[in-house]
């Protein structure tokens, strides 16, 4: 009964009300059918009067209605309390003014009782009087009324308990006080149970509050209560038995009883005290540990406040705490920030997808770490390195976020300055490269064209006329000049990648379809099969992306296994802020030690007699990917095929920092 809450409380109230109604109906039946065993549970003891049983049936109804909140039921409860009030008040006035009214034997005639037949005892009438008042005000919310009701119920507890103890200690009726001498045993028990049950209505107050609370005082009360109740009852019962049988004198019995009570109380309370002392020792130890932990936390907080920008938000992103550092950097006052979202410092620098990805991460319960550009109240911009940590409750539900930021504005300024210097150096290198390309296209090509022309004339005119050695020399000259022409052309192509072009939206699938059409004779000849998964659209240089895929496809077909048709599998997936592409083949593969070397210019892993080419195709791929701000790498084993991976930024912000990027990238990104 101590821990009854919600449904259990309702079930208990229903049980008590049903039990009370059942007992009252049984007693009414006993009066109607003259069954004396139902009227008095103990031989030669007081009977429960008909009016008492009748009022208990109404009390059972009132008990059920007291825990209902519907207006109609509250009104009905007042009528029930009014009926109980009238019967109990009339009975009390009979005792006060010493007259006999028709109410005592109105329903049945009491032929059992010799004194006041049919009339309930004064203590019974008084308890019903108190219960009627409690039913009348049970739904009140005023604290003064509630206190009066609780005190009234406690008084009913005390009166019924005195009567119960009289029965338990076998006190004869003639030895009892007039007020209690005719209250039946089941009447006393019902009053005690009913008053206790009604106290559950106010389970945070009075004795019930002490019983069900979880504080140290509540626990001590629960441990002492059984001892306080049962020890006096048992001890007094034994004392009365000894006295009634003349086994001990009254004076000595009182002394022995008192001494025994004191000894047992001291022993029991000492046991509890030892337990409480141990609990206090543990509590003191925990308090010291908690104090030390709090000191450490305060030091951590001091360090964070001194070095970092701190903000707490609820699960919807509403700011409910900021430290002084936040206000110092953002130049907003606390009252201007609290209750707002971080949009108040949004600089507009980052895209919606940037913040959408951020929220996706932290809502999944993960920590987000990154750099954010914010805008202060005065319009100045500042950069912060940000960590956002989600806080979850015991059910794993996020209820707040902690944002820890460090001001990195100076570092970003230095980075921009260094980047600017780096860009100037790159521009100088690009100019040198352009000059080299000019020289290669004019100064180198002209003598090379002359050598090639005269070499071809010599070959046509004197081949087979100057002997075998001369034929071999002429062949060497022709082949070498051809290779030189191919190398110069490849070098020119490499220098021209990314120059004087604008970025645009490129459909990778359309690019691949176009390459397949151009390479159709080669594809049909080698019986090459393409497996193409869903591919994205990217912001890129269309010609360069086409060259990237074409070189990878050409390599996959060129370095195929004998008697096995090439299979090329192209796929992509989203990884953070990048699209990661994979071009997989079933060719001859590459030794792992050459995975980086293959991207170097003019590097060949096979003899020209085995595979044709200048050795610059993968170098083109490497430059194209870096031009777009991505990276390229290879996974391969000899005999097991190769997979070339490369990444392209989804929004191409990385392309701004590419060492090969021309100035028009920045303008293109801004426009998009």
553-600 pLDDT tens trace: 888 888 788 888 899 999 999 988 889 999 999 988 886 766 566 766
Q: What is the CATH number of domain 308-407?
A: 3.30.450.20
Which residues, 6 or more positions from 480, have their beta carbon under 8 angstroms from its beta carbon? Answer: none
Q: Please name the fold of domain 498-671.
A: Heat Shock Protein 90 (3.30.565)
Alpha helical stretches, state H, 34-121: 50-66, 71-97
- Digit-coded pLDDT (tens) for 244-270: 777 777 776 777 777 777 777 787 778
Pairing of strands 398-407, 381-392: antiparallel
State how far the alpha carbon of 638 is from the alpha carbons of 16, 94, 363, 395, 616, in Å.
Answer: 86, 115, 45, 52, 21
DSSP, res 290: H
The better pLDDT of the pair 642, 301 is held by 642
pLDDT for res 402: 93
Which of 210-214, 553-557, 605-609, 637-641 is the least confident region?
605-609
404 - beta bridge partners? Answer: 310, 387
Task: Please state the rounded mean pLDDT for residues 124-132.
Answer: 92
Buried b (16+ CB within 10 A) or exposed e, 517-529: eebeeebeeeebe
pLDDT for res 173: 56
- Predicted confidence band of residue 390 (pLDDT cuts 50, 70, 90): very high
- Under a CB-based contact definition with an 8 Å cutoff, are residues 92 and 126 in contact? yes
Domain extent listing, the chain: 6-202, 214-294, 308-407, 423-496, 498-671
* Total-model pTM: 0.42
pLDDT for res 664: 39
Task: Please state the rounded mean pLDDT for residues 540-555.
Answer: 86
Contacts within 8 Å (CB) and 24+ apart, 110-114: 110/49, 110/50, 112/36, 112/39, 112/47, 113/47, 113/49, 113/182
């Amino acid at each position: 009964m101590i821990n009854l809450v919600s449904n259990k409380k309702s079930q208990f109230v229903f049980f008590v009300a049903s039990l009370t109604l059942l007992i009252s109906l049984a007693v009414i039946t006993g009066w109607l059918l003259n069954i004396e065993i139902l009227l008095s549970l103990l031989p030669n003891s007081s009977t429960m009067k008909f009016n008492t049983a009748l009022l208990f049936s109404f009390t059972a109804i009132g008990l059920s209605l007291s825990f209902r909140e519907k207006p109609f039921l509250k009104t009905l409860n007042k009528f029930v309390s009014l009926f109980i009030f009238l019967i109990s008040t009339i009975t009390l006035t009979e005792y006060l003014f010493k007259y006999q009214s028709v109410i005592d034997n109105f329903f049945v005639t009491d032929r059992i009782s010799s004194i006041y037949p049919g009339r309930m005892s004064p203590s019974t009438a008084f308890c019903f009087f108190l219960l009627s008042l409690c039913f009348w005000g049970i739904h009140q919310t005023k604290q003064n009324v509630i206190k009066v009701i609780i005190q009234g119920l406690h008084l009913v507890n005390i009166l019924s308990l005195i009567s119960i103890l009289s029965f338990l200690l076998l006190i004869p009726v003639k030895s009892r006080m007039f007020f209690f001498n005719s209250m039946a045993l089941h009447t006393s028990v019902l009053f005690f149970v009913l008053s206790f049950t009604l106290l559950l209505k106010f389970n945070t107050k009075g004795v019930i509050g002490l019983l069900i609370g979880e504080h140290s005082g509540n626990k001590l009360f629960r441990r002492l209560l059984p001892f306080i109740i049962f020890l006096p009852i048992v001890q007094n019962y034994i004392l009365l038995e000894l006295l009634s049988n003349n086994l001990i004198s009254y004076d000595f019995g009182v002394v022995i009883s008192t001494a025994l009570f004191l000894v047992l109380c001291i022993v029991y309370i000492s046991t509890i005290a030892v337990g409480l002392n141990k609990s206090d020792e543990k509590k003191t130890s925990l308090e010291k540990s908690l104090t030390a932990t709090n000191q450490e936390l305060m030091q951590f907080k001091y360090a964070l406040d001194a070095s970092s920008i701190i903000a707490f938000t609820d699960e919807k992103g509403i700011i409910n705490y900021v430290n002084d550092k936040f206000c110092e950097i953002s130049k907003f006052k606390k009252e201007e920030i609290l209750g707002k979202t971080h949009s108040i410092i949004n600089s507009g620098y980052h895209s919606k997808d940037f913040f959408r990805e951020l929220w996706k991460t932290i809502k999944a319960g993960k920590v987000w770490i990154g750099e954010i550009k914010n805008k202060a109240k005065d319009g100045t911009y500042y950069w912060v390195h940000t960590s956002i940590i989600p806080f979850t409750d015991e059910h794993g539900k996020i209820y707040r976020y902690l944002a820890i930021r460090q001001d990195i504005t100076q570092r970003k300024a230095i980075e921009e300055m260094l980047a600017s210097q780096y860009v100037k150096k790159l521009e100088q290198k690009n100019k040198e490269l352009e000059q080299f390309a000019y020289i290669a296209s004019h100064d180198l090509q002209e003598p090379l064209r002359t050598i090639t022309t005269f070499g071809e004339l010599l070959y046509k005119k004197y081949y087979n006329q100057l002997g075998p050695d001369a034929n071999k020399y002429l062949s060497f000259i022709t082949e070498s000049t051809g290779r030189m022409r191919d190398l110069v052309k490849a070098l020119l192509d490499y220098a021209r990648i990314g120059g004087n072009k604008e970025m645009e939206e490129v459909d990778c699938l359309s690019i691949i379809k176009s390459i397949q059409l151009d390479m159709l004779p080669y594809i049909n000849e080698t019986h090459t099969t393409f497996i193409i998964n869903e591919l994205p659209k990217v912001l890129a240089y269309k010609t360069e992306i086409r060259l990237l895929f074409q070189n990878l496809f050409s390599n996959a077909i060129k370095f195929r296994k004998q008697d096995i048709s090439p299979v090329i599998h192209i796929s992509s997936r989203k990884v953070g802020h990048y699209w990661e592409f994979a071009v997989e083949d079933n060719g001859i593969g590459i030794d792992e030690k050459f995975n980086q070397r293959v991207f170097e210019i003019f590097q060949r892993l096979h003899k020209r007699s085995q595979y044709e080419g200048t050795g610059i195709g993968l170098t083109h791929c490497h430059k194209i990917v870096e031009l777009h701000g991505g990276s390229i790498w290879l996974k391969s084993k000899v005999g097991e095929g190769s997979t070339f991976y490369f990444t392209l930024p989804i929004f191409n912000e990385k392309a701004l920092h590419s060492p090969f990027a021309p100035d028009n990238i920045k303008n293109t990104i801004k426009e998009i």
